[in-house]
Amino acid sequence: MRPLAPYIQPSAERTTVERVTGTAVARATDLLAVEAPLEISLGYGPAGQRQTHSLAVTMRTPGHDAELVAGFLLSEGIVQQASDIQDIEHRADPRRPEERGNVIRAELAPGVVLELDRLERHFYTSSSCGVCGKTSIAAVRASSCPAPPPVDSPQVPAALIHQLPARQRAAQQVFEQTGGLHATALFSAEGELLLLREDVGRHNAFDKVVGAALLAGQLPINQHIIMLSGRAS
């Protein structure tokens, strides 16, 4: 798959905010994390008979969109390996120039069978809900990729686990600017930070990391540690 043509949207934007302290209201400028829709469509079918299917709209923080799409397709069970994806590219719609960078198309290999009955509902995925649009728990289970058996999984000392959040936080560049963004970090079994992705949705950040590993031919990553930011709720 050729690299995604660069179209850079900001992950953070400076805007005017109102800060409330007690009864006082003060206007100021601040950097906020961006949340924008990404419309995902698929090209599929044999050569000469290609078709298009509008798959989903997901709310995400712009950046690493191709990785997000690749990870999303793998998580949904639509693809199984990097060779199932021929290309991923942003598409420009002349009718909606303001949406440039928010429409993306993945071209599936001719041999990939798209189960349209399973994807018949055009689902909406919010940044806070990774399963929105699924019609039932059974649908979630049916679309999930089976996890490989935990054979020879690394043993991670508790002391190392306690060190990982600080290492993840130190690498969050957009969080440093905005103070509000989730992240997923991929570590080696020894605690070396290998990859980090940020997003307003923690499941999006996770898909970006998985997609990056998929496109780089690094799956499976069952000898690694994945850490997600989160909260107690």
Mark whether 129 is an active-site residue. yes
Q: What pLDDT does residue 10 have?
A: 85
Top-confidence residue, 132 or 105: 105
Q: For residues 4 and 34, give the distance between their C-alpha atoms in angstroms, rounded to a whole number.
A: 21
Catalytic pick among 129, 145, 161, 216 = 129
Structural domains for the chain: 36-143 (3.10.20.10), 158-228 (3.40.140.10)
Burial grade of 69 (CB within 10 A; 0-12, 13-18, 19 or more) = buried
Overall average pLDDT of the 161-165 stretch: 96
Q: What pLDDT does residue 137 have?
A: 46
Confidence label for 135 from pLDDT (cuts 50, 70 and 90): very low
pTM over 0.85: no
pLDDT digits (tens, 9 = 90+) for 167-185: 999 999 998 889 889 999 9
> Percent of the chain at pLDDT above 90?
59
Looking at residue 82, the DSSP 8-state letter turns out to be: G
Confidence label for 1 from pLDDT (cuts 50, 70 and 90): low
Q: For residues 112 and 48, give the distance between their C-alpha atoms in angstroms, rounded to a whole number.
A: 15
Q: Is the pLDDT of residue 88 over 60?
A: yes
Strand partners, 38: 58
Overall average pLDDT of the 7-17 stretch: 84
Top-confidence residue, 167 or 127: 167
